[in-house]
């Protein structure tokens, strides 16, 4: 890494580098399971203040202890909305940049040094931070030194700027300089060229792939009789039907399982047939989007999944092989050993019950587990997508963890037509225009789509254009 080599060049050994790590409010030594310890918000705030990203809140003239506490609590409440992992990553890169460059402080306060002088200094700090990240590359285990995409660099620099502005309520740089920074990152994208635009590009895993594997059209049919294979099949169909990101099936690779925000057995609400479900059993899958991980389950997003056929089948049957509801039901029975209790509706149509009790032994257990029994992570999604693709007669290397999300979005569009744009955005939890954010998802529309997506079978452009995959931006 650039920062480490910089320190080594000055000192000649690892002593300074060890001292550098000891100044951080967390340790990078190997923990149980090789996972990095989670950092409390109070420690992140303290670290950000020490680096100059946040301005310490000090007592104002005549202010009481209560008034000071109110201002500190207000800022902490605002910072709770910031993704913990991304904030920690940003602070680590800022510290490496300051140590390697010798620049101090990171920002000047316009109130003390004037707008023009402060804006110029701060803009140079942000430009230097961005350039440092480009040269240093990734610190992720197994990917050390690899190029970081322009969007990730821009997000890190932007977070440092936003947190500083949160504390001072003043612009860090001249607003007109924002346009020039956009142009700079556009140049970085061009310099990264094809590798950056195609690195994460993978083919869509369609419901037709699942159907081909279940029917044994290409190779031997998928074994759904064992507990492990049932769980993997359920994970794949759930990721497709709910349009999940690879890390939303469990947790991000390299991180650790968090029962407060990752999928657990309590993430499912089982529901009885209603007029909106057209007489079919259905469920709600409560998903916390990746960007809200590390917060509370209050950020969970309900995704309806309906059974493709009417009625209820016995435990001994295999169910519809491409029905996400049936797959989850089988996985539940296999894991819990009993049928789930269904929710009821009051006279206003509101749901009550239907979730595993909070004190149940499996309530905080991961809904899906990997091949070795560990909580499911992005790598498991990637491996599953490739296994299904291979069984379906495809080149497994053309598929990855994002293939379920791409396949689900593609199949929903096929069965609903181009008018499905808004519904797919809602179901897939994509950011959108303010007007679209305020649109409320309709239960019947979501349930109809959840059932109909199982009949999608048309070819996509990737299937007919050999060697081409649609970029995912």
Is residue 82 pLDDT above 50, yes or no?
Answer: yes
Is residue 36 pLDDT above 50, yes or no?
Answer: no
pLDDT digits (tens, 9 = 90+) for 114-141: 778 888 898 899 999 999 998 888 877 7
Domain residue extents for the chain: 2-198, 207-461
Please give the structure tokens belonging to residue 454: 């199982």
Is residue 100 pLDDT above 90, yes or no?
Answer: yes
Angle between helices 84-101 and 41-51 (to 10 degrees): 30
Mean pLDDT over 427-435 rounds to: 64
Give the pLDDT score at 196.
41
Q: How many other C-beta atoms lie within 10 A of the C-beta of residue 24?
A: 16
| Whether pTM exceeds 0.75 | no
Q: Which residues pair with 366 in a beta bridge?
A: 264
Q: Class of 207-461 per CATH?
A: mainly alpha
Give one DSSP letter per residue of 95-129, joined into a string: HHHHHHH----S---HHHH-HHHHHHHHHHHHHHH
Mean pLDDT over 77-93 rounds to: 84
Give the pLDDT score at 161.
87
**For residue 53, what are the contacts with CB-CB under 8 A and spacing of at least 6?**
90, 91, 94, 106, 107, 160, 163, 164
Q: Which of 101-110, 309-318, 393-402, 443-452 has the lowest mean pLDDT?
A: 309-318
Is residue 254 pLDDT above 50, yes or no?
Answer: yes
Give the pLDDT score at 304.
92
Q: Rounded mean pLDDT of the chain?
A: 78
**For residue 129, what are the contacts with CB-CB under 8 A and spacing of at least 6?**
93, 94, 97, 156, 157, 160
Give the pLDDT score at 220.
57
Percent of the chain residues topping a pLDDT of 70: 76
pLDDT digits (tens, 9 = 90+) for 371-385: 888 999 999 999 999
Integer Cα distance of 47 and 33 in angstroms: 26
For residue 272, which of 262, 261, 281, 263 has the smallest C-alpha distance?
281
Mean pLDDT over 101-113 rounds to: 86
Please give the structure tokens belonging to residue 144: 């050390």
Integer Cα distance of 429 and 445 in angstroms: 16
Give the pLDDT score at 437.
42
Is residue 185 pLDDT above 70, yes or no?
Answer: no
Please give the structure tokens belonging to residue 92: 């680590």
Question: 35 vs 27, 87, 272, CA distance in Å?
Answer: 11, 17, 40
Give the pLDDT score at 186.
57
């Amino acid at each position: 890494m650039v920062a480490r080599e910089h320190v080594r060049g000055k000192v000649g050994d690892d002593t300074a580098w060890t001292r550098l790590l000891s100044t951080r409010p967390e340790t990078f030594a190997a923990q149980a399971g090789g996972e990095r310890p989670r950092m409390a918000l109070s420690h992140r705030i303290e670290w950000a203040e020490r680096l100059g990203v946040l301005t310490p809140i000090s007592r104002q003239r005549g202010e009481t202890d209560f008034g000071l506490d109110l201002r500190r609590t207000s800022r902490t409440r605002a910072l709770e909305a910031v993704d913990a992992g991304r904030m920690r990553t940003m602070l680590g890169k800022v510290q490496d940049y300051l140590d390697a460059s010798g620049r101090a402080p990171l920002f000047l306060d316009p109130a003390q040094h004037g707008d023009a002088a402060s804006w110029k200094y701060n803009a140079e700090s942000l430009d230097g931070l961005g350039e440092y990240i480009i040269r240093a590359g990734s610190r992720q285990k197994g990917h050390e030194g690899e190029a970081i995409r322009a969007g990730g660099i821009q997000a890190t620099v932007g977070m440092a700027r936003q947190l500083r502005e949160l504390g001072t309520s003043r612009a860090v740089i001249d607003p007109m300089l924002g346009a020039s920074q956009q142009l700079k990152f556009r140049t970085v994208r061009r310099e990264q060229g094809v590798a950056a635009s195609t690195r994460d590009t993978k083919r869509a895993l369609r419901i037709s792939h699942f159907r081909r594997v279940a029917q044994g059209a290409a190779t031997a049919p998928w074994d759904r009789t064992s507990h492990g294979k049932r769980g993997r099949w359920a994970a794949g169909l759930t990721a497709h039907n709910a349009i999940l990101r690879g890390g939303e099936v469990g947790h991000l690779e390299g991180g650790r399982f968090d029962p407060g925000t990752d999928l657990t057995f309590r993430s499912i609400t089982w529901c009885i047939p209603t007029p909106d479900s057209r007489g079919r059993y259905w469920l709600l899958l409560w998903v916390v989007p990746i960007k809200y991980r590390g917060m509370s389950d209050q950020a969970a997003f309900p995704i309806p999944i309906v059974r493709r056929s009417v009625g209820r089948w016995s435990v001994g049957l295999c169910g519809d092989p491409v029905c996400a509801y049936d797959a989850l039901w089988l996985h539940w029975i296999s894991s819990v050993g009993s049928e789930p209790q269904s929710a009821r509706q009051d006279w206003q149509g509101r749901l009550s019950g239907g979730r595993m009790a909070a004190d149940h032994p499996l309530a905080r257990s991961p809904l899906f587990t990997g091949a070795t029994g560990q909580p499911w992570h992005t790598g498991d999604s990637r491996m599953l997508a490739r296994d299904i693709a291979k069984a379906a007669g495809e080149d497994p290397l053309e598929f990855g963890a994002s293939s379920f999300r791409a396949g689900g979005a593609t199949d929903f569009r096929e069965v609903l037509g181009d008018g499905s744009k808004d519904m797919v955005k809602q179901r897939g939890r994509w950011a959108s225009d303010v007007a679209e954010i305020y649109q409320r998802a309709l239960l019947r529309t979501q349930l109809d789509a959840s059932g109909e997506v199982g009949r999608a079978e048309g070819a996509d452009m990737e299937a007919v254009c050999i060697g081409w995959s649609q970029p995912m931006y």
